[in-house]
Amino acid sequence: MTRAASTTRDRIVSAAAALFYGEGVRRVSVDAVAEKAGVTKRTLYYHFASKDDLVAAYLDGRDQPSLALFRRWFAEAEGDAADRVRAVFANLARSASHRKWKGCGFLRTTAELASLPGHPAVQVARRHKKAVEDWLADAFAQAGLAGEPAALARHVMLLLEGSFALVLLHRDPRYMEAAGEAAAGLVRAAMREPGPS
């Protein structure tokens, strides 16, 4: 792909991301994305075979930046693994306090496409959530927590995803803070457990 083609594609994805996150994937037409990107519909379809592919590209573009942000929040936090997990939730709560916050783009898109489990965007969302869970399990293993790091990561993921849903529903970031306290409690309990003999 040439640099110009790459730049055009990036511009289309950026426009789609702003519209899809702001209004939802079902409400936004391909025409609206093309207009916002400053390209023709034909040019958009040159880069993306379908709207489904464009929606998948929108989520794919959020994957690594979101995971990198979680990693940074965890790494920069002071304290032990429990404090670091709490810090991830606290940072998310701060983000959720912003008036432009509209929830987790992965979850919102998946909810809109719930009747299409094989949709390429749902597959991207599934991969992203699994990557976050795997990262948590790895972080817990590196911290030397007792028990099964993968099981603990799954429990923390349940708290994380539940807090995304409740904050979006109630518009109250304190749900995320409460989930962070619960997650920290789970991690701290694993820290107290005796390791394998």
- Say whether pTM exceeds 0.85: yes
CATH code of 52-192, in short, is 1.10.357.10
Neighbours of 111 (CB within 10 A): 14
The amino acid present at 130, given as its one-letter code, is K
CATH topology of domain 1-48: Arc Repressor Mutant, subunit A (1.10.10)
pLDDT given at position 197: 44
152 and 186 Cβ atoms separated by less than 8 Å: yes
In the predicted model, residues of the chain with pLDDT beneath 70 are: 1-5, 194-197
Q: Indicate the domain borders of the chain.
A: 1-48, 52-192
Q: 48 vs 10, 29, 32, 67, 106, CA distance in Å?
A: 11, 14, 15, 25, 20
- State residue 192's pLDDT score: 80
The answer to whether the CB of 59 falls within 8 A of the CB of 125 is yes
User: pLDDT tens for residues 148-157?
Assistant: 999 999 999 9
Distance of CA 42 to the CA centre of its chain: 31
**What confidence score (pLDDT) does residue 15 get?**
98
